[in-house]
Amino acid sequence: MMPAVLEFKNVSVSVKVGGADVALLRNVTFDVGKGRILGLVGESGAGKSMVGRVISGLLPDNLRFSAGHVYFQGGELTGRKARALLGRRIAFIPQEPLSALNPVLTVRQQMFEHMKHLGLPRKQWEPYCLERLAEVGLPDPADMLGRYAHQLSGGQCQRVLIAMAFSGDPELIVADEPTTALDVVTQAQIVRLLRQVQRKHGTAVILITHDLRMAAHVCDEVAVLYAGDVVERGSARRVLEAPWHPYSWSLKMATPNLTGPQYVLPALADLMPGLKQIAELPGCRFARRCPTRNAECENRVSALESVGQGHFVACAGQCRVDSASRKTEPHALPPAAHPGGRPLLELRDVGMTYQGRGGRKGQLFHALKPLSLSIGPGELLGVVGESGSGKSTLARLMVGLMAPTAGTVHVDGVARAQASARQAAQMRETVQMVFQDPDSALNPRRTVEGLVAQALELRPDIAGIERKRIAERLIKQVGMAVDALQRFPSQLSGGQKQRVNIARALCVTPRLLVADEIVSGLDVSVQALIMNLLLQLNRELGIAVVLISHDLSVVRYLCQRVLVMRHGEVVEQGPTDQVFGNPAHPYTRLLLESVPSDDAGAAWPPTEHDQDSVRAGSAELEFQS
């Protein structure tokens, strides 16, 4: 039997907290063999990226390798040795492709730097780079070499990084959330490419991801981490289809289905424990959030025990989940709060055209082709499509951040372009936007209280004490504790920041929220909390929601109606279950086929030939129309 490419044996990484050692990774054990893919899954803070730091030998100075052994190709891997192997025998594919590439260097300059690091002769650099770029399916590799990162799409940037990662023919690649920021079609292309190149070279891969469905399709084995502990490990399909640990089960159940019956997403209580909390947890670190915990859990550390062939779980026997016995509550979307009547928001032949610049000067770019659309009070509408399809342009026109170059936008029957100053102010309160990235949307110098009640500062009739009372009500409304009002954004988790973003939008009592990719990149447990919050606001306050998302399962869970956009126009629309269950347009079928199937045994990702066939059908349909 061949030795594993990488082995972790009872690895612990510790940090000093109040003079005592606290294990951020605790007795972590796993291995990955040649040509195999191991998935590391879990929420933010679970320890997935810490594993990557151990492999790279790049632990921060305040952390120390306190126990266990790491073996690479049979030899012990120390920090110094790991750093020497980086880029050659061990390679990394980072999460954010645009930020991973140097914006002031061309692709050629960056790849040549890597060739120099690998020790290749100078005369081989250009042909070798062209060969690698062609291998990852980039068109016209010679042209790509001369481009900068901003001249490439997100998918093209990720392909460049994959080409660089495989350039040294490494034995191990660590891919850290390589598809998080990509739309579903590009995600399927990148995953298919990664698997093709990985199989061709026989490379071992560690895939860090929070997408459980993708892990079930792509990985051979998975290790589920929680607060530095491996709580479950085994074959990807077995662990993710029938998990035994309550945490693995909670992650699975927090992921909405794309097909089949829907259920109310159970949201985990509380958050992943921080450093101080971990120091106070001598036993199971998941116990305080566990729905099946018992009195022993908080003081007992369970070792990984076999529950089947190659399947291990670290959990007290009476706490293990019997998936078949766990009942779920059926999920049904509420009807529109006020069916019929005057539309809340109406777009009449609205279009957006830009004048080309630079080499395209004089040409017109149709970011949004003329479309008509109405949204009723209390309606839940989803908008889906690839990056560049016009979704965000549509959102900005809805909230009035830009004026259309054609057509008119009406709010409560009044044309926005002809509104008086008083009517325009009322429109801004009626339609509010929740932005995708709360880090850039929230002022880091303001407390949560100041952010949530910011819109009231222009109201002299509302005193400071009244603003504080309103902020307390809003923060409770989005499911956060009142003491969070005195914190700054840097002291909040990603999900908490997004809730503050929503609370701020609710400050002026809107009737329509336009949510642009607000759950993109969030852990599935936090995603479930945000979606259930939007449903609650819809039911209790009658607030309409336009959800822009590249996650089709999220749109199916939340939305009654869906628009499918491509190249700035709506190619299909209708009731969500009808459009997703029986799509009429080839492009809608392409989107659906690009999403990992709920059935881990189904073939995914689709082949390049299948995707090309669907695209050809879509192009033919557009030509005929």
Domains detected in the chain: 6-89+170-242 (3.40.50.300), 345-624 (3.40.50.300)
- Residue 498: what pLDDT? 82
87-92 average pLDDT score: 90
107-118 vs 154-166: helix axis angle to the nearest 10? 20
What is the three-class DSSP state of 207?
strand
Lowest mean pLDDT among 93-102, 244-253, 318-327, 424-433: 318-327
- What average pLDDT does range 483-507 have in this prediction? 85
β-strand partners of 205: 37, 173
CA 179-285-476 angle, to 5 degrees, is: 75
Tens digits of residue pLDDT in 122-162: 999 999 999 999 888 888 899 999 999 888 877 888 889 98
φ/ψ (deg, to 5) at 174:
-105, 115
Give the mean model confidence (pLDDT) for residues 99-116. 91
pLDDT of residue 526: 81
Q: Per mean pLDDT, which range of 33-47, 76-90, 113-127, 484-498 is the poorest?
A: 484-498
Window from 20-29, 306-315, 488-497, 504-513 with minimum mean pLDDT: 488-497
Q: Give the Cα separation of 248 and 223 in Å (integer).
A: 10
Question: Using one digit for the tens of pLDDT, what is the confidence trace for 332-359?
Answer: 776 655 555 689 999 999 999 987 655 4
Sign of dihedral through CA atoms 106, 111, 117, 119? Answer: negative
Across the range 474-489, mean pLDDT stands at 86
Q: Is 133 exposed, middle or buried (0-12, 13-18, 19+ CB in 10 A)?
A: buried
Rounded to an integer, the average pLDDT of 69-94 is 89
Give the best-scoring range by mean pLDDT among 190-194, 385-389, 580-584, 619-623: 580-584
Write the pLDDT tens digit of every residue in 198-232: 888 889 999 998 888 889 999 999 999 999 999 99
C-beta separation of 265 from 330 below 8 A: no
Comparing CA positions, the residue from 335, 330, 174 lying closest to residue 263 is 330
Give the global pTM.
0.86
- Residue 373 DSSP SS3: strand
Checking if the pLDDT of 623 tops 50, the result is no
pLDDT at 604 over 80: yes
